[in-house]
Structure 1
Amino acid sequence: MRQRFSLALLIWLFVVWVLLWGKLSPVVVLFGVIVAVATLLLFPLPTRSGVFARPLRLLMLVGYTVWDLLTSAVGASWEVLRYGRKTASAVFAVPILAEADHVVVASANLVSLTPDTFVLQIDRRSGIFYVYLLGARSDGDVASAYHQVVELQVRVLRALGGADEIRDLRERADRAHRARKENPATTASSSPPSSSESFEEEP
């Protein structure tokens, strides 16, 4: 049963469920527990005893995610109300900083939780996230979102990653930041993975 059921994964799935709904009501809590338990029983996942090895960093990650949800929701709502069908969007590429599957998935899920960004594709072979951004009206908007996704990965790795991945984390993140500044054309595209157009505007 320890191979099949993990309290750490149960709590993590429950937190993701609550964040997806955006509220903490009795119905959300009840179905969150049911969905989390059913997921672990029907789809056994490998247990990881170190998920809660850094509780303070995990709490900081949760707090950052909640704040990011609130601010991005306001920004996305204003973009839609202001521009309507002319709301601009873009797809950009971001290097994946992690090697462990559970960290990569957690990073992608947290990026996709916010209303203005969504991970369209995870290219594990090339080590790239392709991220959709709502409200991309300039290269500065894309650059800001790019750096934010890199820093989110840093926070996820510090909370959930192994010691070997954290050791040179800051160096890998700095390389990712420099790659965007030195050659922004390689990190922006209208569709993954071959298009070279930086921005697209919906009719």
Structure 2
Amino acid sequence: MSDTAIDTTPATRRRGGFQPRAIIALAVVWVLLWDRITLGNIVNGLIIGAVVTQIFPLPSIQYFGRIHPWRLLLLIGRFLVDLVSAAVQIAGATLSRRPSQGGSIVEVRMRTQSEFYMTIVSALVSLVPGSIVVEARRGANVLYVHGFHVTTPEGVEELRRDVLAVETRVVRAIGTPEEISICTQEVA
């Protein structure tokens, strides 16, 4: 047996290789940038996607869950409700004659240990007007969220509960049974 044997377990497998989803995603972005769907744009997008994924390979994501369609619809629906209500609140605060009280940055410790969920929760929280994730610490599993409306200790706890509720909805929509039980135990 050779001393140069390569371990091909998922944890140690080299990044890179053929990444069809990433290539297609980059091709779609390329076509959207040109604002025209032509055969040339599609082919060029696929070529650029293939080259980019070889030069800058994406790391593999460890995901063992499954999509729960009804919970995914609830996640999307609640996100849209949050989006509209926050936009109305921000518009009201902007048009108000009272000066803004400022906001606060709140530390939120995530319950799941997945970077995948942390990324999705960060995106959903940041897309809602009035809140934005200013820092994420993977090792500590913590998000630091700035809340526009947070001016009291009760507001800090409310923002923390809101972010954890987003995490719960995300995990219920796409998580494993074990991850779902972790999130629902702490909510109950």
Q: TM-score range by the shorter chain?
A: 0.5 to 0.7
Query: In 1, Cα distance between the equivalents of 2:62 and 2:170?
Result: 15
Residue pairs, 1:92-107, within 5 angstroms: 92-107=106-121
Which one-letter code corresponds to 2:20 in the other structure?
A: F
Q: Specify the code of the residue in structure 2 equivalent to 1:4.
A: Q
Q: Does 1:5 align with 2:50?
A: no
The 5 A counterparts of 1:1-203 are 4-6=19-21, 42=53, 44=58, 46=60, 53-82=67-96, 86-173=100-187
> CA 1:74 to 1:97, structure 2 compared with 1: closer, same or farther past 3 Å?
same
User: Is the helix fraction higher in 1 or 2?
Assistant: 1
Code of the aligned partner of 2:128: T
Please say which structure displays the higher CA radius of gyration. Answer: 2
Q: Distance in 1 between matches of 2:18 and 2:112?
A: 24
Change (3 A) 1:51 1:3: farther
Q: What is the deviation of 1:97?
A: 1.6
For 2:174 and 2:18, the matched residues in 1 are separated by 19
Superposition misfits of 4+ residues, deviation over 3 angstroms: 37-52, 83-87
Q: Deviations over 1:12-69 (max 9, x none)?
A: xx9xx9xxxxxxxxx89x79xx9xx888974646377866631111111111111110
Alignment RMSD: 3.5
Q: Relative to structure 1, is the Cα distance of residues 169 and 77 closer, same or farther in structure 2, using a 3 angstrom cutoff?
A: same
Counterpart CA distance in 1 for 2:98 and 2:127 is 22
Aligned partner letter, 2:156: V
Q: TM-score, normalised by structure 1?
A: 0.61
SS of 1:168's equivalent in the other structure is helix
Taking every aligned residue pair, what percent have the same amino acid on both sides? 20
Q: Secondary structure at the match of 1:94?
A: strand
Q: 1:194 corresponds to which residue?
A: none
Contact 1:118 1:131 in 2 (8 A): yes
Q: In the aligned structure 1, how far is the partner of 2:147 from the partner of 2:124?
A: 14
CA contact (8 A) 1:6 1:47 kept: no
Inter-CA distance 6–58: structure 2 relative to 1 (3 Å threshold): farther
Q: TM-score, normalised by structure 2?
A: 0.66
Q: 1:39 to 1:61 in 2, by over 3 A?
A: farther
